Copies of this chain bind each other. A is one copy, B any other.
Amino acid sequence: MATIRDIARKSGYSVTTVSRVLNHQKYVSPAAKAAIEAVIEQLDYVPNSLARDLSFGQNKNIGVVLPHNDHPYFNQLLNGIMDAAFSSGYHIVLLPSEYNQTIELDYLEQLKRKNFTALIFASHGLALSVLEDYTRYGQIVCCENPGQHHISAVYSHREPAYLAAFNYLKIQQVTQMGLLLSRNSVQSPTWVAVTTAYQQVFSCQPDAKLMIGGMRSFEDGYHAAKHLIAQQPTLNCYFTNGDDIAAGVRQYHLDHQLAPPLLIGQEKQLSSLLLKIPTIDHHFFTLGQKAFAVALSNHHQICRFESEFILC
């Protein structure tokens, strides 16, 4: 494997001049350029990225920390990020965390080791204050409201859409509903936003017995409906954290000759289109695009998008 010094020796020019040719810099005579390029061609030389990265002090990798990849939220976000990264010269590195704090912390340590130029945090197992600590080692973009923390952020403003959805249900005379959310933690931003909106519309706390976390898939929705119906046979309305979850609920009702339930989905997936389930679009693709742009910029910025309630 030829090195830049081989090219220099064989062409009769110095390493510096070869480097100038490689980087298309000024101050190289046409003769030198031609001679050097000929040798490069002849020796089939390409510069070593590892050496270049060390010299430059950083590589061109942007890490994306996300719990997993089988949820439309992450998928759409990732597609947006990839779209923005395409032909930027930067690479997207997938960093699954399963919400495991130790693993997420390890990714932050890798930022410190210069394994990445920047990190996009779509997961949030860690406290924001921890992320904040690591911003000195590289740009960190989180995908939720950073509050008082000095972290760049790109996130969707969910509350108005949640209010619109609950108001829609209120008009339908709904008195009780299942809440099928994805995160398990009561402190998670989603959980807080949902219960706050619920309280605002219905003037009371949602029934804790009808709230279930950890929902992700069609199957999860199906089982959740089964579980809830067992203890509340008249239940006929569900607010869910994803269209597929809602589809699962509907399927359970269908399979057991129950009246079609009133559903609210999220993510604007195919299933909401197929089954005419009202949904909430959080514009994750656009969010991902923006997240990448912020990751590359090296100043602090916060960008909020508005979620949208869609009554198809």
Contact = CB atoms under 8 A, between A and B. Distances in A.
A7 to B, nearest CB: 15
Interface string A36-77: 000000000011111101100111010100001110000100
A54 to B, nearest CB: 4
Given A95-B91, A244-B270, A247-B270, A59 B69 contact: no
A293 interface: no
A50 B58 contact: yes
Interface residues of A, number: 42
A14 interface: no
A66 to B, nearest CB: 10
Interface centre among A48, A58, A79, A91 (most CB of B within 10 A): A91
Contacts of A75: 69-70, 75
A30 to B, nearest CB: 26
Contacts of A58: 50
Contacts of A96: 82, 86
A112 interface: yes
A61 B95 CA distance: 12
A188 B218 CA distance: 33
Nearest to A81: B94
A208 interface: no
A114 interface: yes
11 contacts: A50-B50, A50-B57, A53-B53, A61-B93, A63-B91, A75-B75, A91-B94, A92-B94, A93-B94, A218-B273, A274-B275
